[in-house]
Amino acid sequence: MGLQRLARRAGRLGMIAAAVTGLTTEAAGQIAPDAAWRTIRTEHFHVHFTPDVEAIARRAAAVAESAYVALSAELRPPRGPIDLIVADNVDFTNGSATPFPTNRVILYARPPVDVQTLRFYDDWTTILVTHELTHIFHLDRARGWWGGAQRLFGRNPAFMPNLYLPSWIKEGIAVYYETRLTGSGRLAASQNPMVVRAAAGAGALPGLGDLSLTSPTFLGGEIAYAYGALAIAQIGATQGDSAVPRFIEATSRGLIPFRLDAAARRAFGAGLSDVWEAWRDSVTRADVRAGAPLPAWRELTDAGWAVQAPRWTADGRLVYAANTGRRVPGVYRVDPATGEEHRLGRRNALEPNVPLAGGGLLYAQPEFIGPYTIRSDLWIEEDGRERRLTTGARLTRPDARADGAIVAVQGVAGSARLVRLGRNGGPVVPLTEASADVQWTEPRWSPDGAAIAAVRWMRGGITEIVVLDTLGGVRHVLARDRALNAAPSWAPDGASVVYSSDRDGRTEIWRAWLPGRGAEAAAGDAEPDAVVRARLSDAGTGLFFPEPSRDGARLAAVHFRADGYHLGVASLAPADSATPDGVWSTTPALAVPVTGPLVIGDSGAAVDSGTATPYSPWRLLVPRYWTPVVRQGAGGALAFGGLTSASDAVGRHAWSAQASVEPGTGFVDADASWRYGRFGLPLVDVIVAQFWDRDRFTFDDGEPGTLDEQTRRAYTGLTFFRPRFRTSSSLSVGAELQAARFVPRSARVEAALRDDLRGTRLTPGVRLAGRWSNVQTPALAVSPEDGLTTTATLRQRWLDRDGGPITRSAVGTVAAYRGLPIGGFANHVIAARAAGGWQDGRATSAFGAGGVDGGALDLLPGLPIGGGARPFGVRGFTPTSQEGTVAAAGTVEWRAPLAIIGRGLGRLPLFFDRSSLVAFGDVGSAWCTRGDLGEPACRASADGPRWMASTGGELVIEAAPIYDLAYRFRAGFAVPVREGGVTPPSRVSFHLTVGRSF
């Protein structure tokens, strides 16, 4: 029996196949490894870029060196050179930084001209570089025993103490220096005070433990940035300029990284909690003005979260883009008279939806046009069907004239310009120049189609509301401030433009009259060439996206409240009743004072002039760290070893390796993997592994025997993937070779060894695996919704070196989800999955039915929760209750939202996200066909399924055990209702696991 059992286990190595599946990536937003990367070297940086962004990269290199000097005056410099990657393969603003495996920063070359929280900047490269470089200065720092551990283990992330800090500290410090060193950025803008005013007015100011990136309450993950920056700024304001650097030094050497109050007391004599509570006490409800923001104001939406860009339709209704959290982003229509609201369609981003004269909606949305490239293009939706107008044109914020002519913003490397194109997408004709120091956004046609109102941003943080002619010539400047002037929209008579501005510290609605077009009515004795401005609103928090109705009687706008943005309508005062804020001339050019130069260099002029050379990855592929490995060896004793890995800056190479040895037996287990991405697609994977197994058994006369097996395996494969915003698919194909040999540990065992188990057995094979999914997962969802996920794996192996016999297997799953809006903070979901597997009797391992499907999480080394994925799981039964060459299973679950928690647990590094309840029914079986009985994979005595079934429930808690890294914990019970010839462990069993069941 022992030898047969070991023979069955000889082919159990599914780990390589699983590893290949796990390596498949959707590549959302990552840089393209197949691009023609080049490098320039400065004193502290290796700057990598593609030829199309060389000018921006050289500017970023100069900014980075200047920012390095400024940060070095405040913080301890990081170790070694920093890799700075400048990419332009995605149409969104972002950046990232990591100290592992080396110090690296990625910048996407798109200015945040359309990002409300980031729009106050003097120079976007300076803001972005300073923010991300602050992360490197902060996270690289390690002192005390942490520094000693790094001297032994290298740049091991486990010994980087500041990586353990909550994101509100990491991001708060970066935002603090982004403003402190540049004079602009988020702490100098109006957004954070607005958030505080709204939260204070609602009595909803959070505690420090509530500032998790995984927060399910509005602002979502932005809460860590907004309040984290305020907390760090409060430290600087109350404890002195040197308090933040001292705090960083304290956290860099603290024995336990979670004792934040202790680190703060060492740094400046007060706990973080004390500083925060003192700040909270200073913020009162009196900071929020009472009353309506506009005359006769009436809100039309109550879902909160995000609302943008309302537009009036010809029949007097409003269409707008929204993300309610309960559903993925979409476009909605509301009737102001009745409040009746309808969802018209799905959107990939919150962009204006422009009603067209002939029907339909014009809008922009991002989409993948390749495995690594995201571009925003124009689309038209008519009668529920989407039609794409452009591909790869990089267009956002469109507006349409009555004759169908379109004006839009076009992204170019490091800037944004205005362009014009025909109703059907036509040729794209630039209206303005593209410049890193001048950027354009939010164009709107005048009612007569003879002019365009738009926002012009200029270096120094100046934004203007500008009127252009149809060829792009500037006619008038209606507003110019070192503030955020945004979202212009025409009054129906074409004599004035309404827009939002935070020039007074709060975002309010303003109106500006064109020279000679109603100025006399508004200001009486105004000069003919003067511009008159009047503030229309008095919002306690902020008011955005003004949109006059087509009859000029009403004004739609978006009001910020503690739970998000809300669409409302008000009456629009006539020109003769407006109170002007001032009369000022537009000729000559306006002279508005700008508060000083940038602190970090003159990045508008400074560029690096170093020589560019072809990118080389080899410097970054040298291992920089190692991690000790302690595990259970095959011989039953502890095995000791280590692991390491490396990857280059642009993703062309990534490798990992680990090895361990069990001293008593000498067993060496090792594996290594390498991924090559230079082709872009396919990704090339090579994996090799060796491990040992030991079988102890007893002969019929009671004498013990030991038989060891050494297995070596190699896999090479190709992985293809096709990411899209609404679907994803992947395919991997590969070949493998297994070499196995038995090592008898006594003469009697050697004599008993079957002939077919002697020598080295070579088992070549091929494998094909695919996945496709179109499920939706809204921000507040407790489960995937409204879609399907399918997987399939096919495998064939030749069981000896002569090419035969052959064994084949196939495993497939399909999961379906349907959201039901029947109450709660998120949709209820009905989820169902079916799984099936088949292999012939020559297989060396069997399918097992039973057990709890899910994931696995090591709370401590060697102390896991969860047993991993089980496609044929049946809760209430053991994982191998039934085994065979054929298996099938099905599950139906009702997933119901329970409560949004959104709270931390005092000063502990634990955050609770949301909770839900699950009621389930499982059924499954594994069996052998009659022809397979007696084969290695079959122990069954019957030739048909004997169904096991169970029912039960689970409590699901989504929580972050270390501040921001969220996991799904499931605690449940199962009651077997059909035993299928198997005796279950108990009448009621309980389980604790992680991850979803599917």
Distance between CA atoms of residues 434 and 795, nearest Å? 54
249: which strand partners? none
CB 390 within 8 A of CB 404: no
Tell me the CA end-to-end span of the chain in Å, nearest whole number: 36
**729 alpha-carbon distance from chain centroid:** 18
At residue 995, the pLDDT reads 92
Q: Which amino acid is at 689?
A: A
**CB atoms near residue 841 (< 10 Å):** 18
**CB atoms near residue 533 (< 10 Å):** 24
Distance between CA atoms of residues 409 and 414, nearest Å? 13
At residue 137, the pLDDT reads 98
CB 260 within 8 A of CB 207: no
Query: What stretches in the chain show pLDDT beneath 70?
Result: 1-29, 284-290, 518-528, 574-605, 800-804, 858-865, 932-934, 936-937, 939-943
- Largest Cα separation within the chain, whole Å, is 117
At residue 27, the pLDDT reads 35
Q: Which helix (H) or strand (E) holds 98?
A: strand 95-98
Q: Are strands 728-744 and 761-773 parallel, antiparallel or unpaired?
A: antiparallel
Closest CA relative to residue 489, chosen from 344, 318, 300: 318
Q: Determine phi and psi for 167, rounding to 5 degrees.
A: -65, -25
Q: Are strands 298-299 and 564-571 parallel, antiparallel or unpaired?
A: antiparallel
Local structure of 812: helix, strand or coil: strand
Distance between CA atoms of residues 854 and 868, nearest Å? 5
At residue 20, the pLDDT reads 33
Distance between CA atoms of residues 598 and 200, nearest Å? 33
